[in-house]
């Protein structure tokens, strides 16, 4: 079973810009969203406008609505666990403030193939390689050692909350129930501890632009 999860919703001050990005990305990913076994979205921040828009989509997402802000690490866990509870073996994480590039080809098929042929890879990163470059593993501090393959690279990547395709077993080990100190760094730690490697699709699919719609930027 293949599921898509999307944290959505924004404070009123950036809501319209955020929703505009979500609409454009979902339009470009329309076929994928229709083909997924399930799409689960979180309408955060009491954002009724985004909730209403989601309910009107033909790919019929299951929408979880929150009157208050659920912090990013907990919202991510909420969506991942919701997908696993419904039997998902692969989970695609998308986000409503990331742009999907229009020249993307069969990237989801290629991402599934990476997981199929690399059993030690826990997630396939989907950020465009020319959008951001990392040089170190954020858990170990070691330089990234990456092997270039046909259409992707694989190596000692740490886990990321950026758009990515996850395998079920990596989610189970990276979001353990007994870890009460839940944040992205802890997810990275558990991913590393479990011995997972990461992969990155080349050239990638999504870019992140600071156009004023980023929620994280409001609390820096």
Which residues are CB-contacts of 117 (< 8 A; sequence separation ≥ 6)?
none
The confidence score (pLDDT) of residue 146 equals: 96
Residue with tokens 């290629």: 110
**pLDDT for residue 216 is more than 50:** no
Distance, CA of 185 to CA of 26 (rounded, Å):
28
**Its pTM surpasses 0.75:** yes
Provide the pLDDT confidence category of residue 220 given band limits of 50, 70 and 90.
very low
Distance, CA of 5 to CA of 37 (rounded, Å):
11
Q: Which domains does the chain have, with CATH numbers?
A: 1-97 (3.90.550.10), 102-211 (no CATH)
Stretch 47-72: mean pLDDT: 94
Q: How large a percentage of the chain has pLDDT more than 90?
A: 82
Distance, CA of 174 to CA of 144 (rounded, Å):
20
Nearest Cα residue to 18 out of 56, 47, 57: 47
List the end-to-end C-alpha distance of the chain, in Å, as a whole number.
38
CB of 110 within 8 A of CB of 154?
Answer: no
Provide the pLDDT confidence category of residue 107 given band limits of 50, 70 and 90.
very high
Stretch 59-75: mean pLDDT: 91
Distance, CA of 132 to CA of 58 (rounded, Å):
33
Higher-scoring residue by pLDDT: 33, 182: 33
**pLDDT for residue 210 is more than 90:** no
Nearest Cα residue to 188 out of 146, 144, 124, 140: 140
Q: Compute the mean pLDDT over every residue in the chain, rounded to the nearest whole number.
A: 91
For residue 143, the cross-strand partners are: 136
In the numeric block, which tokens belong to residue 30? 């329309």
Instruction: Please write the tens of the pLDDT for every residue from 131-186.
Output: 988 899 999 999 999 999 999 999 999 999 999 999 999 999 999 877 756 678 89
The confidence score (pLDDT) of residue 212 equals: 47
Nearest Cα residue to 96 out of 44, 133, 38: 44
């Amino acid at each position: 079973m293949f599921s898509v999860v999307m944290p959505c919703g924004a404070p009123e001050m950036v809501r319209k810009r955020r929703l505009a990005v979500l609409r454009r990305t979902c339009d470009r990913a329309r076929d994928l969203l229709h083909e997924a076994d399930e799409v689960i979205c979180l309408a955060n921040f009491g954002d009724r406008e985004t909730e209403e828009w989601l309910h009107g989509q033909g790919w019929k997402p299951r929408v979880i609505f929150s009157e208050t802000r659920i912090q990013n690490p907990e919202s991510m866990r909420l969506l991942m666990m919701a997908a696993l509870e419904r039997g998902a073996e692969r989970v695609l994480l998308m986000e409503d403030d990331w742009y999907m590039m229009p020249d993307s080809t069969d990237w989801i098929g290629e991402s599934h193939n990476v997981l199929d042929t690399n059993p030690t890879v826990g997630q396939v990163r989907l950020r465009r390689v020319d959008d951001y470059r990392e040089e170190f593993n954020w858990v170990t501090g070691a330089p990234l050692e990456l092997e270039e393959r046909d259409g992707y690279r694989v190596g000692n990547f740490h886990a990321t909350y950026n758009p990515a395709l996850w395998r079920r077993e990596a989610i189970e080990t990276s979001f353990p129930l007994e870890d009460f100190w839940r944040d992205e760094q802890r997810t990275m730690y558990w991913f590393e501890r479990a011995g997972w490697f990461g992969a990155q699709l080349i050239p990638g699919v999504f870019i992140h632009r600071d156009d004023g719609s980023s929620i994280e930027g409001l609390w820096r």
